[in-house]
Amino acid sequence: MTDSISLPTSDWPVLEAGWVWLCGAGPGDPGLLTLHALNALRQADVVIYDALVQEAILDWAPQAEHIYAGKRGGKPSAKQKDISLRLVDLARAGKRVLRLKGGDPFVFGRGGEEAQTLVQHGIPIRIIPGISAGIGGLAYAGIPVTHRDVNQSVTFVTGHDQTGEVTSSLDWEAISRGSQVLVIYMGMKHAERIAGALMAAGRAADEPVAVVVEATTDKQAVLETTLGDLVADIAASKLAPPAIICVGRSVLMRQVLDWQGMAAGAAPRDLDPLGRGMPAEAQ
């Protein structure tokens, strides 16, 4: 990738010296980057990027200094305070700073914390949303996060808090009752506790579950299982984070919507996985 791709004619915003733009890089596939993100990459003097940002995306900013600031559970990582204050220092040095975060910066990405720090230090900011893995990653797996015959609500949950443990502030019973489909970010490490909490709160052990790892990349893998078998099947699969876990009957739709599998020549496993007994277009 280079800067040879032309942006459509438009009044694109200018990344000024001393500004920080906080930008979502999407779930992995560089093609899911927004045009505003591409415009920012073209202008930046410095790109500070996270662990889940694909290296190919950085190729769109050959003129910029690339600074890694990844935070991965269980591995040595930069402290959040240091990352936030470095953004301040770079902006005060007159740099055009792009903070590039996987997915969407405001969806379990600490973008709000970083943006608040910048504003408190008098640094002007712009927020560029990105496609969150909980939506885009599931779509690449052939799982619609909402489907009229399955759910009228969806809940996005983080699998751990700032300490790395399952967050104590979540009311799993209320979450279990309140939403037909659950999308859990960063929950693979604590899958046993999460599955146990959901079943204790009333979710059925045979409820469909999908685990999508390395979503939208060429390393993407999908495990289809049930809530009761989730822990054993993860162990047997030897899959590792980063992962999105989806709980709910919408997972069944992968049997008919695994578009990547079909593109590779596989046939749909079930044209009516929800058992409606009628064509999809029928009311």
Active site residue 278: no
The secondary structure of 255-281 as a DSSP string is: HHH-HHHHHTTPPPS-S-TT---S-TT
Active site residue 71: yes
Region at 138 (left for phi over 0; alpha for psi -120 to 50; beta for the rest): alpha
Which of 1, 45, 71, 199 is the catalytic position?
71
Q: Are 222 and 109 in contact (CB under 8 A)?
A: no
Own/partner long-range contacts of 7-14 (Cβ < 8 Å, ≥24 apart):
7/35, 7/38, 7/39, 7/42, 8/35, 12/36, 12/39, 13/39, 13/126, 14/43
Helix (H, G, I), strand (E, B) or coil at 107: coil
The secondary structure of 31-54 as a DSSP string is: GG--HHHHHHHHH-SEEEE-TTS-
- Nearest by Cα to 87 from 36, 128, 125, 130: 125
Residue 229 CB-density burial (10 A; 0-12 exposed, 13-18 middle, 19+ buried): middle
Which of 50, 188, 189, 253 is the catalytic position?
50
Helix (H, G, I), strand (E, B) or coil at 106: coil
Which of 95, 101, 104, 186 is the catalytic position?
186
- Nearest by Cα to 13 from 32, 34, 27: 34
Region at 23 (left for phi over 0; alpha for psi -120 to 50; beta for the rest): beta
Give the CA-trace dihedral at 217, 139, 132, 49, to 10 degrees: 10
The DSSP symbol for 29 reads: -
Residue 6 CB-density burial (10 A; 0-12 exposed, 13-18 middle, 19+ buried): exposed
Active site residues: 50, 71, 186
